[in-house]
Amino acid sequence: MTTDTNPTWPVMSIAEANAALTAPGMPFEMETVDVRGLSLRSYKNTPPHLRAVFEAGRQWGNRDFLVYEGERLSFENHYRAVVTFGHALADTYGVKKGDRITIAMRNYPEWSIAFWAAAALGAIVVPLNAWGTGPELEYGISDSGSKIVIVDGERLDRLAPHLDALKLDALIVARAGKMDLGRAVAMEAIIGLPTGYARLMDTPLPDPELVPEDDATIFYTSGTTGKPKGALGTQRNILTNLISAAYAGTRAMLRRGETPPAPDPDAPQRSMLISVPFFHATGCHSILVPMYVGGGKLVIMHKWQAEQALELIEKEKIQAFGGVPSMAWQVLESPDFAIRDTSSVESISYGGAPSAPDLVTRIKKQFPKVQPGNGYGLTETSSITTTNSAEDYQHRPESAGPAVPVCDLKVVDEHGKDVAAGEVGELWIKGPNVVKGYWNKPEATAAAITDGWLHSGDLVRIDEEGFVFILDRAKDMLIRGGENIYCVEVEGALYSHPAVMDAAVVAIPHKVLGEEVGAVVQIAPGKFVDEPELKAHVRQLLAGFKVPIKIEIRHEPLPRNANGKIMKSELRDDMKKYAGTGAA
């Protein structure tokens, strides 16, 4: 814990703050709802569906919404581009409620346009990881049954060899430049260039008559059996997160004895630098949607780079940034930090990867007025489950915070039985943010969700006030800079090389990224392969961020226990020697 700077803090407990904020008539008032036979607490003021949210966002008119590489897109012009694109999807390609539409592109303004157009029609949006290889993108499109695919030029190039295997009604590409589009249609041919958006139609889109339990999104998350699983989220799931995103700051104000201000549409516009992908639940659920609803300015970078981030913070008077801990570290340690004006920054929040407790101290030192924050969530919980911010985070920097009020948490043993308070076990989560299940995978759904309780796969303990401390992952997974990497997938790629007899993938600690991918392999007798060849082999099969930064080649058997399982704890300890050596 840090030293108290306010001797009167806290003026109320977490339980008292929750009770006050969720009471009748309050912005976070709760009600009990029936969701697929489950009785759940839900925020009473949750919007019913994304279509309503989209229409409400138009109120912000000529305010800047998206800023990208010198382009400035207002809420009104964004609305017109969405409506025009939505009419093309509906009228030309027959898109209707429940159809799946894949979006695979980097963070361009067109990502938002495609997302809101599909969502407003009641289609199920399928964001795919833009870092994925051609085979990985093909799998997501095929598995989801998407008939419409919207990509950028780079993704079109990766998909080109796989198009004959996909039965698509339309392939639409944004920002392809002078590429040969083949059978693809340029998005610009439908909505024109940003300079002309103000002249586009504003005719309302067909009403899909959505309800809160209608399907809204499919976000793919890697599975321990190798193939990714599509987490099927509902309208209620994504919009519960919208309310939860505002909760931590309000709770922090009550804890320090302040009265939260009433919503003021005339208040100065909020501004945020987005440094995580829209294709992640964090980028979509916790940044794109809340910023659109709240009339905020979202500044997009073509590619994360700390020096450019500092330049944009100064130029755009950015109030909030974050993403994953690595990005905060890079800004703090940038040689440009001292020459840039960062006085506008009020909030730095991050999650999605392990973070060092001393990151809080560094942030407070270099951003004195900033209230840092972190949180915990999963794709399957539609982003936010717990939040830790302001004084709470300074006092418990090792914690991911307590649950938002609509979520129930419990800690169980390997048999699903509750463990004693304060003991370590697997975290299970229940609430209106938990997804319906995995797309077309009933067995995987049944294995992951029991009576509404999602099995997180994370080993935790919870203290007497409800603060969650994440200790390890029960699932064989590591997190590199916010990207989930399942070891079995990388091991499978290594095993496919003819010289590899045995393989184990483990994390190598990294100060900035949290973890890097490391591997230990045993070479088959009489065979030869070196580290560069193995890395190149994995790179042909998987996205670049999954390629091990260090592969230790051995000729003796890997250590195994009496049950024949590789002793990864032993290998993990051994591979720590590569941390900070330049390999990581």
Q: Tens digit of pLDDT for each residue in 95-145?
A: 999 999 999 999 999 999 999 999 999 999 999 999 899 999 999 999 999
User: Do residue 136 and residue 178 come from a single domain?
Assistant: yes
Beta-ladder partners of 349: 322, 373
User: Do residue 286 and residue 383 come from a single domain?
Assistant: yes
Mean pLDDT, the chain, whole residue set: 91
Q: How far is CA 251 from the centre of its chain?
A: 23
pLDDT at 297 > cutoff 70? yes
DSSP class of residue 56?
H
pLDDT at 352: 63
Q: Give the residue from 176, 210, 244 where a domain finishes.
A: 210
Roughly how many angstroms between the first and final C-alpha of the chain, as a whole number?
Answer: 30
User: Do residue 447 and residue 487 come from a single domain?
Assistant: no
pLDDT at 3: 42
- Order the strands of the 347-350 sheet from edge to edge: 71-74, 64-68, 297-300, 271-274, 320-323, 347-350, 371-378, 383-389
pLDDT at 561 > cutoff 80? no
- Domain assignment of residue 151, yes or no: yes
Domain count, the chain: 3
- Domain assignment of residue 37, yes or no: no
Q: Tens digit of pLDDT for each residue in 485-496?
A: 878 788 888 988
How far apart, in whole angstroms, are the C-alpha atoms of residue 478 and residue 548?
Answer: 12
How far apart, in whole angstroms, are the C-alpha atoms of residue 34 and residue 265?
Answer: 33
DSSP class of residue 283?
I
Q: Tens digit of pLDDT for each residue in 362-419?
A: 888 899 888 888 899 999 999 999 999 989 988 998 899 999 999 999 999 999 999 9
* Most confidently predicted of 5-19, 263-277, 298-312, 563-577: 298-312
- 79, 257, 269, 368, 388 from 6: Cα distances, Å: 45, 11, 30, 15, 18
Q: Tens digit of pLDDT for each residue in 459-515?
A: 899 999 999 998 766 667 788 888 878 787 888 889 889 888 888 999 999 988 889
Cβ proximity of 490 and 519 under 8 Å? yes
User: Do residue 297 and residue 202 come from a single domain?
Assistant: no
CATH number at residue 294: 3.40.50.12780
User: Do residue 266 and residue 162 come from a single domain?
Assistant: no
User: Do residue 331 and residue 204 come from a single domain?
Assistant: no
pLDDT at 5 > cutoff 60? no
pLDDT at 225: 47
Based on the number of CB atoms within 10 Å of its own CB, is 442 exposed (0-12), middle (13-18) or buried (19 or more)? exposed
User: Do residue 168 and residue 311 come from a single domain?
Assistant: no
* Start-end of H helices in 183-324: 188-191, 235-244, 247-255, 281, 289-293, 306-316
The model's confidence at residue 1, banded by pLDDT at 50, 70 and 90, is very low
- Domain assignment of residue 15, yes or no: no
DSSP class of residue 93?
T
Task: Please tell me the pTM assigned to this model.
Answer: 0.85
CATH number at residue 87: 3.40.50.980
- Domain assignment of residue 29, yes or no: no
CATH number at residue 492: 3.30.300.30
- Domain assignment of residue 444, yes or no: yes
Beta-ladder partners of 71: 68
- Domain assignment of residue 249, yes or no: no
Q: Tens digit of pLDDT for each residue in 195-245?
A: 999 999 999 999 999 999 999 999 998 654 468 899 999 999 999 999 999
User: Do residue 517 and residue 455 come from a single domain?
Assistant: no
User: Do residue 273 and residue 159 come from a single domain?
Assistant: no
User: Do residue 468 and residue 486 come from a single domain?
Assistant: no
Q: Give the residue from 210, 237, 270 where a domain finishes.
A: 210
pLDDT at 486: 76
pLDDT at 70 > cutoff 60? yes
Percent of the chain whose predicted confidence (pLDDT) is above 70: 95
pLDDT at 540: 93
Helices 306-316, 325-333: axis angle to 10 degrees equals: 80
**β 425-430/453-462 pair status:** antiparallel
Q: Give the residue from 419, 453, 473 where a domain finishes.
A: 473
Domain that holds residue 512: 479-578
Cβ proximity of 291 and 57 under 8 Å? no
Mean pLDDT of 440-448: 96
**Helix (H/G/I), strand (E/B), else coil: 164:** helix
Based on the number of CB atoms within 10 Å of its own CB, is 256 exposed (0-12), middle (13-18) or buried (19 or more)? middle
Tell me which of 398 and 269 has the higher pLDDT. 269
Q: How far is CA 401 from the centre of its chain?
A: 18
- Domain assignment of residue 96, yes or no: yes
How far apart, in whole angstroms, are the C-alpha atoms of residue 275 and residue 353?
Answer: 14
- Domain assignment of residue 74, yes or no: yes
User: Do residue 469 and residue 487 come from a single domain?
Assistant: no
Q: Tens digit of pLDDT for each residue in 37-67?
A: 999 999 999 999 999 999 999 999 999 999 9
